[in-house]
Structure 1
Amino acid sequence: MAADLRFKPYPACDGALAYIESAIDLRRRFQLTADNVQKVIVCVDGAAAELCQPYDAGNEVPSPERTRFSMKYAIALALSEGNVRLSHFAQDWASTHSRVCALAQRIHLETSARDNNGVRASGQLNIHTRDGHEHASNPDIARGTETPEAEAQPLIRKFFDCTASLPAAAQTAIIEHALQLETASDLHEVVPILMGAQS
């Protein structure tokens, strides 16, 4: 059971995570901008097709919670902002939401009948740019074969994003101790920091 556990690096529906990673990877590798994206074809399979229903941006502005379960919105946010953070779903999100919705309307889902039996979704994206290029994702590259230290970076960024109300010194101290938990002899130094962060 423990071997199947994994951290959730983005505040979105689990079925969208692989697609978020692919979108961020393609944006970085090909220096894509939201304005240069003509359309995105998303190959959705398995549970992702059920969990992440399309969100068609219209006159109605949905709640931030609703958009977290939208495959289109998650991919558009990743391509537009270069990441998906909790702060993107804050109550004062109007300007971000407007940019993302414009791109979400150019994202199209192709649902596969293939059942992935609970295996992680493919994360397959095909991005067509206005200058005539097409970029297909390679989920293996997006997931990477990085060192444990490098793999921890998205989680550290998420921690800082989720705890933005804490003093920077408290955030840094908590992360430093968290990264050393496996070799720590006891938690006497950690508990006071956590208690201080709550006050």
Structure 2
Amino acid sequence: MAPPAVHHTIVLAHPDQDSFCASVARCWLERAQKHHQTGTVLDLYAEGFDPILKANERPGKPDYAPPPEILAECDRLARTDVLVLVYPMWFGSMPAMLKGYLERVLGNAARYVGDEPHERPLNGTRLVQISTSSTSSAWLAEKGVESAMHTLFDRYLSDVLGAERAYRLALDNIVDGMSADRGAMELEKVRQTADRICADANAARWAQAQSR
């Protein structure tokens, strides 16, 4: 009997629904579906997500009481096998909207599922980060941005939240008015990355099913 399909949650953090980031999110969803996997795109700006952490949403505090919409997002994470974060690099980091999502949702998910290591919210989940930048990767590396992002948002998130594996795809020199050929070339990188991770996740799903 076939195991359940791998499920992807694609979190998009860009205010322009016609942005290249939005194209990346749609591309990833299409590739997941090509592999007979399921997925949803969570467009934080379009859905009006509030990134501001409230006082009663801090785990461990006496008045801890996260609202239903945050618990619903925690439930979404619990059903996610591949979590894809798609965002532009602004001022050397991710947008405040996405940072708010990490604080409000992933922070509460850690409390929601429990405190034991095997209950960490991204346990068994593949964490994928796809960032775009108008500058070059070489320039970002020179300024220390690449190493900082790797430490803070790849290693830290995967280690603390228990991700099975962490991946990063940095698309640089993404600017308004770039040629259609250049855009297609960058989206091909997204397709290749998605294909590889979809195959990895599916193989892990079948191996898990056969071990039971």
Name the structure with the higher strand share: 2
Using structure 2 for the length normalisation, give the TM-score: 0.24
Q: Which has the higher contact order (CA 8 A, sep 6+)?
A: 1
Higher radius of gyration, 1 or 2: 1
Using structure 1 for the length normalisation, give the TM-score: 0.25
